[in-house]
């Protein structure tokens, strides 16, 4: 468990500019307006959350008004890997902005191909496809958007390395590469999304914000999305990215995890969100 003083210090970092603590230096002014130019500070106490779940990886946390990301491991926090299904947040925005999908209830019919996950084997709306993390829906969406527009919008959104590869990869660049993103870049993207600072319409932002709601508790709303890259391969990893809102306060989290030795899929996959919620709750954010 995190020590009491560490917990208080981190909670202050996220939600109160009036809080101070001897071990946490005051933030310095930043001259750069680059949305990805965030400083990274290590808080090794966060590693206990990963250890409790039997996974390895990193946790990144960003307070609404800061340019300083708190990470459990500063090296892993800045390492780019496949975004997997966390890219569905960006791709939903792209689909709406290009007019390929009209709204959250836009249906893409099932292609009749039986896949591993039973919930993918049916017609989906944008709303239900986000909830089920239905890869085939978003692959068809990307094919309809087309490689040129996917490339343009991914770069315009300043999403990770912005690399969507060749036209042949239009329906897999976030699953197999070359698109890659770090935990620090994930929270940067989420903050620009929540603030309305992305180059998309307020309507598109509102649609996607609404379908990302996972839970509400005592006036605080949790929004987020999971991802699972390269299942059952040596380099597999899981994501949970999201943010909590309480009034005008927000805190952003990106969790990148890999399974522990012998850990089964169910335990590993459920750990993604548990790690994120534990990190937020230990900081008095959730």
Which value, in Å, is the radius of gyration of the alpha carbons in the chain?
18
Judge whether 85 counts as a catalytic residue.
Answer: yes
Tell me the C-alpha distance between 221 and 219, whole Å.
7
Q: Which of 72, 94, 82 is nearest to 142 (CA)?
A: 94
Torsions phi, psi of 113, nearest 5? -85, 125
**CA 117, CA 102: separation in Å to the nearest integer?**
26
- Which residue in the list 9, 72, 85, 133 is annotated as catalytic? 85
Contacts by 29-35, CB closer than 8 A, 24 or more apart: 30/67, 35/158, 35/188, 35/192, 35/197
Burial pattern 71-87, b for ≥16 Cβ within 10 A else e, equals bbbbebbbeebbbbbbb
Query: Which of helix, strand or coil describes residue 280?
Result: helix
Q: Which secondary-structure segment (H or E) carries 263?
A: none
β-strand partners of 226: 240
Cβ 175 vs Cβ 82: under 8 Å? yes
* Residues labelled as active-site residues: 85
């Amino acid at each position: 468990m995190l020590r009491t003083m560490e917990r208080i210090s981190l909670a202050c970092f996220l939600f109160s500019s009036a809080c101070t603590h001897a071990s946490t230096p005051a933030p310095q002014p930043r001259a750069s307006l680059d949305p990805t130019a965030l400083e990274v500070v290590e808080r090794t106490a966060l590693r206990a959350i990963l250890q409790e779940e039997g996974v390895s990886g990193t946790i990144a946390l960003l307070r609404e008004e800061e340019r300083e990301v708190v990470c459990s491991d500063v090296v892993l926090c800045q390492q780019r890997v496949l975004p997997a299904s966390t890219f569905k947040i960006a791709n939903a925005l792209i689909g709406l902005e290009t007019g390929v999908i009209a709204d959250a209830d836009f249906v893409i019919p099932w292609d009749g191909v039986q896949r591993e996950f039973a919930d993918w084997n049916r017609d989906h709306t944008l709303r239900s496809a986000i909830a089920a993390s239905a890869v085939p829906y978003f692959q068809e969406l990307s094919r309809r958007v087309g490689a040129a527009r996917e490339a343009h919008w991914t770069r315009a959104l300043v999403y990770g390395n912005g690399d969507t590869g060749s036209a042949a990869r239009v329906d897999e660049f976030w699953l197999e590469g070359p698109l890659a993103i770090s935990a620090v870049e994930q929270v940067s993207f989420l903050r620009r999304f929540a603030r309305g600072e992305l180059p998309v319409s307020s309507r598109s932002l509102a649609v996607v914000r609404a379908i990302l709601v996972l839970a509400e508790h005592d006036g605080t709303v949790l929004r987020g999305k999971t991802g699972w890259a390269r299942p059952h391969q040596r380099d597999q990893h899981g994501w949970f990215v999201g943010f909590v809102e309480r009034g005008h306060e927000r805190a952003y989290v990106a969790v990148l995890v890999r399974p522990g030795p012998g850990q089964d899929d169910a335990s590993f996959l459920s750990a993604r969100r548990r790690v994120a919620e534990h990190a937020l709750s230990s900081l008095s954010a959730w």
